[in-house]
């Protein structure tokens, strides 16, 4: 009964480099979400995957951000040409069913990204 | 569009005292409301959720919240604070329409003094 896992737990990179963050959802969960949490702030929605449907990318802040998910398994969030304002904790969540409004989202521990 | 406002970024209470964390929402359609807790260096954990079945919702660890439509509020309470309740608490909203993701408030950090 493993929960949502994310890797790496911490990532330090230099400005301008690309980074890739990974999320392993709970097995059988069809919906997967990425959020960003800047220091002292709430969570901002980035992108949502539901099964084989087209993802909801409406929260991605710029075209430097992209994400992929193969079926109902692992997802990767890629940030190209990182900027200092990208420094944040990136959280992944998954939920069991079709993303209904009362579904419980289960969160991973996050990846703390620091851009120097 | 929906939004959530959490009044008070930091709240400090004594152990054994009442905990009250405030959350007000804005939504043009009936909302679904959630409280999550985040312990240091951990992911968010669901405390409770309002799904329109009952206005008073009981959650884990002795927390409860009451949905008040007239006040557009969903405040979180606990009768007696414990040291282990020290954490950051987030209120979130979602609706039947539009985006499936949660919209979060900015969070309230709860300190419990011995």
Nearest of A83, A79, A58 to residue A67 by alpha carbon: A79
Mean pLDDT in residue range A86-110: 87
Instruction: Tally A–B CB contacts below 8 A.
Output: 65
Ramachandran quadrant class, B100 (left: phi over 0; alpha: psi -120 to 50; beta: rest): alpha
Q: Which residues of A10-19 are buried (b: 16+ CB within 10 A; e: fewer)?
A: ebebeeeeeb
Which chain B residues touch A106 with a CB distance below 8 Å? 46
CB A45 to CB B43 under 8 A? no
pLDDT in tens, B43-92: 899 999 998 878 999 999 999 999 999 999 999 999 999 999 999 999 99
Looking at the partner chain, which of A4, A41, A101 has a beta carbon nearest the beta carbon of B94?
A101
Alpha-carbon distance of B17 to B19, in angstroms, equals 6
Reported as a pLDDT band with limits 50, 70 and 90, residue B31 is: confident
Average pLDDT of chain A is 91
Q: Does A25 touch chain B (CB under 8 A)?
A: no
pLDDT in tens, A24-33: 999 989 899 9
Q: Which residue has the tokens 């392993």?
A: A24
- A37-41, A105-109, B21-25: least confident range: A37-41
A16 CA: distance to closest CA in chain B (Å): 27
Reported as a pLDDT band with limits 50, 70 and 90, residue A102 is: confident
Which chain A residues touch B107 with a CB distance below 8 Å? 41-42
Alpha-carbon distance of A32 to A55, in angstroms, equals 10
Which chain A residues touch B32 with a CB distance below 8 Å? 101-102
The answer to whether A83 touches A19, Cβ cutoff 8 Å, is: no
DSSP states along B47-77: EEEE-SS-SEEE-GGG-EEEEEGGGTEEEEE
Q: Does A104 touch chain B (CB under 8 A)?
A: yes
Give the model's pLDDT for residue A70: 84
CB B103 to CB A56 under 8 A? no
CB B44 to CB A40 under 8 A? no
Q: Does B32 touch chain A (CB under 8 A)?
A: yes
Q: Is the pLDDT of residue A1 over 70?
A: no
Which chain B residues touch A3 with a CB distance below 8 Å? 43
């Amino acid at each position: 009964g493993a929960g949502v896992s994310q890797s790496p737990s911490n990532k330090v990179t230099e400005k301008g480099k690309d980074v890739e963050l990974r999320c392993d959802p709970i097995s059988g969960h069809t919906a997967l979400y990425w959020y960003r949490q800047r220091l002292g702030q709430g969570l901002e929605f980035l992108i949502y995957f539901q099964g084989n449907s087209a993802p909801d990318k409406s929260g991605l802040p710029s075209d430097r951000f992209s994400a992929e998910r193969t079926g109902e398994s692992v997802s990767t969030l890629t940030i190209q040409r990182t900027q200092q304002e990208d420094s944040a904790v990136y959280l992944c969540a998954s939920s069991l069913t079709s993303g209904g409004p009362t579904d419980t989202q289960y969160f991973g521990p996050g990846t703390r990204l620091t851009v120097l | 569009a929906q939004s959530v406002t959490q009044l008070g970024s930091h709240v400090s209470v004594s152990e054994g005292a009442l905990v009250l964390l405030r959350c007000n929402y804005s939504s043009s359609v009936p909302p679904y409301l959630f409280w999550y807790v985040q312990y240091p260096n951990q992911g968010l954990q669901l405390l409770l959720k309002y799904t329109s079945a009952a206005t008073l919702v009981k959650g884990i660890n002795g927390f409860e919240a009451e949905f008040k439509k007239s006040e557009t509020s969903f405040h979180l309470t606990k009768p007696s604070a414990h040291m282990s309740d020290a954490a950051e608490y987030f209120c979130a909203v979602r609706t039947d329409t539009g985006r499936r993701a949660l919209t979060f408030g900015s969070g309230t950090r709860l300190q419990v003094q011995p």
